[in-house]
Amino acid sequence: MQITTVSEFRKDIKTYLDRVIKNFETLIINRGKDSGIVVMSLEEYNSLMATSHELSSRKNELRLDSAIDKLKNGRSFSRDLIED
């Protein structure tokens, strides 16, 4: 995570945005007392939204937890795809 001020961000916007995208970093632009802006790549944002959606219902959350437990305990399996 990077933190900068509005003034510093203005001086070198392109470099800051390139780092956000290239390194999957989050940039916080401090705007004063308890005020700021978060900049992240579209890919990172989409990932957060997908995770939020998957965890939006208790039923989905329990299914995901169960799947993770199965993987951790070696109770997973693989199958070959059927090709036409």
Nearest-angstrom CA–CA distance, 41 and 6: 18
| CATH fold of the domain at 1-40 | YefM-like fold (3.40.1620)
pLDDT of residue 55: 83
Nearest-angstrom CA–CA distance, 18 and 81: 39
pLDDT in tens, 59-72: 888 988 898 898 89
Phi-psi region of 38 (alpha: psi -120 to 50; beta: other; left: phi over 0): beta
Q: Domain locations in the chain?
A: 1-40, 41-74
Q: Say how many CA atoms lie within 13 Å of 13 toward its Cβ.
A: 2
Find, among 45, 7, 50, the residue nearest to 26 by Cα: 45
Please work out, in degrees rounded to the nearest 5, the angle formed at the alpha carbon of residue 42 by the alpha carbons of 38 and 44.
75
pLDDT in tens, 14-29: 999 999 999 989 999 9
pTM value is 0.64
